[in-house]
Amino acid sequence: MLNRRISFARSPQSAADRLVHGDNLPVLEALEDASVDLIYVDPPFGTGSVRKGRAIKQGDAAAAYKDVPNDPERFVDWIQPRLEHFHRVLASHGSLFMHLDYRAVHYVKVALDRVFGRSRFINEIIWCYSVGGKSKRTYARKHDTILWYGRTADYAFYPDAIRVPRKPNSHMRVVTTEDGELVQEKTDRKTGKVYRYPVNLGKVPEDWWADIETLNRADKERTGWPNQKPERLLERIIAGASAEGNLIADFFCGSATTAVVAQRLDRNFIAVDTEANAIDCAASRLEQRGNELAAAGTPPRDIDVERVATAVAAAS
């Protein structure tokens, strides 16, 4: 149901988070300059087909949304005004993470370089997974690309929030220091300088992520929404580039993976989707997770579920 408030009785009350049904363009137009701290978007990839998931409630038709045509030039024309708004609404320390695959990433990279400036490009994150079919005629296409841009050179980054364990069998030797600390150690051949990395501190991941599997059919996290992304992926993105209380935006939210993680990590959120089914799915997922947080003694902010007044524009 739209135009309602999901309440978790948080005290003291603070501004509600927003779950919006509609085209993201008018929603973006209405946002103030520099008002968002982090944007993650996972737009339709341009498969040219209807993306089908499975029924979200028993007896419903399979959840689905119509993808944009398999035409990257048209895709860029369509997304261009949205990219300009992403740039406008980001705070100076803000970041955009744009999730794409091989079909459109090279076209969108050029468009983003033009909007943000090439010097604002930070990382091309390669997210590797193995679930799904394989072709007999190609190397299996088992990665997506997430482009990270900073609004300015002074973008926020919290490396200590996203450390992962060090590889036990790396090229470095493991030694115990004089202080009893376990470190990985290497010696620079040219300079003889010794580098030591405490094992218990872990490390900041590289720009390829192979430690987060995509959701399988039976995964507990599955909502039925097609192309749903794993929460762990969003945890790394949100924890690494935002702080508690920041505003996180997802303008192609689907089942609201970004919003669910923002809610759990005590960030504010605005999440938008054109499909009424996506908003229903997102609202019940956020309500359930919010109730779990409330039961554990950490109620999240209320959520306003809204419908934008403008007509819902098709993505094609």
List, in order, residues 6 or more apart from 272 with CB less than 8 Å away.
Answer: 20, 21, 22, 24, 27, 249, 250, 251, 252, 253
Which lies closer to ligand SAM via its Cβ, residue 273 or residue 306? 273
Contact residue for ligand SAM among 145, 228, 242, 268 (CB under 6 A): 228
| Closest residue to ligand SAM in the complex (CB) | 254
The single residue listed with the structure tokens 């039925």 is 224
**Segment contacting ligand SAM by CB under 6 A, of 134-142, 159-167, 266-274, 300-308:** 266-274
Which lies closer to ligand SAM via its Cβ, residue 92 or residue 216? 216
Contact residue for ligand SAM among 38, 247, 249, 272 (CB under 6 A): 272
Residue 263 touches ligand SAM, criterion: CB under 6 A: no
Number of residues that bind ligand SAM (CB under 6 A): 22
Residue 257 touches ligand SAM, criterion: CB under 6 A: yes
Residue 8 touches ligand SAM, criterion: CB under 6 A: no
Contact residue for ligand SAM among 28, 39, 46, 65 (CB under 6 A): 65
List, in order, residues 6 or more apart from 108 with CB less than 8 Å away.
Answer: 75, 76, 79, 83, 98, 100, 147
| Distance from C-alpha of 275 to C-alpha of 14, rounded to nearest angstrom | 28
Helix (H) or strand (E) holding 89: helix 72-89
| Distance from C-alpha of 17 to C-alpha of 312, rounded to nearest angstrom | 21
The single residue listed with the structure tokens 């501004």 is 15
Residue 255 touches ligand SAM, criterion: CB under 6 A: yes
| Distance from C-alpha of 28 to C-alpha of 89, rounded to nearest angstrom | 8
Residue 306 touches ligand SAM, criterion: CB under 6 A: no
Residues at the contact surface with ligand SAM, assessed by CB under 6 A: 23-24, 42-44, 65, 225, 227-229, 251-252, 254-255, 257, 272-275, 278, 313, 315
